Amino acid sequence: MMDPIGLAGSLSPNSMAETRQSASGTGATDKEKEVARSFEAVFLSQFVSQMMETVDAEAMGGGKQAEMWRSFLSDAMAESIVDQGGLGVATSIEQMLAAYRK
């Protein structure tokens, strides 16, 4: 059985920073890292957008304004997630790009 307290401790900001530091050793170029990061941001934006569609538009003011706000909010949330280390998609892409280049 998994220890939920131990799992929560593994998601601390310090462990996320360590993960980001270890991810920098992927062998990817700066351009590859930026492409991977951008891809993860777009992926997460789509993911968050789908999630936001479950929220009633009236909660955001309704109408076209709500749809525009939802789009901006999805993009901002995705960028924030990526800035905090993301889901690891960018790291995987960096590794694949570096391996392909070899």
pLDDT in tens, 38-59: 999 999 999 999 998 887 777 6
pLDDT reported for residue 24: 55
- pLDDT number for residue 90: 94
DSSP state of 58: G
> Quick one: tokens of 14?
């310090």
Full residue range of the structural domain in which residue 27 is found:
4-101
Give residue 92's pLDDT: 93
Cβ(36)–Cβ(97) below 8 Å: yes
Nearest to 69 by CA among 82, 80, 56: 56
| Domains of the chain: total | 1
Report the chain's C-alpha Rg in angstroms. Answer: 17
- HSE toward the beta carbon, residue 29, CA cutoff 13 A: 7
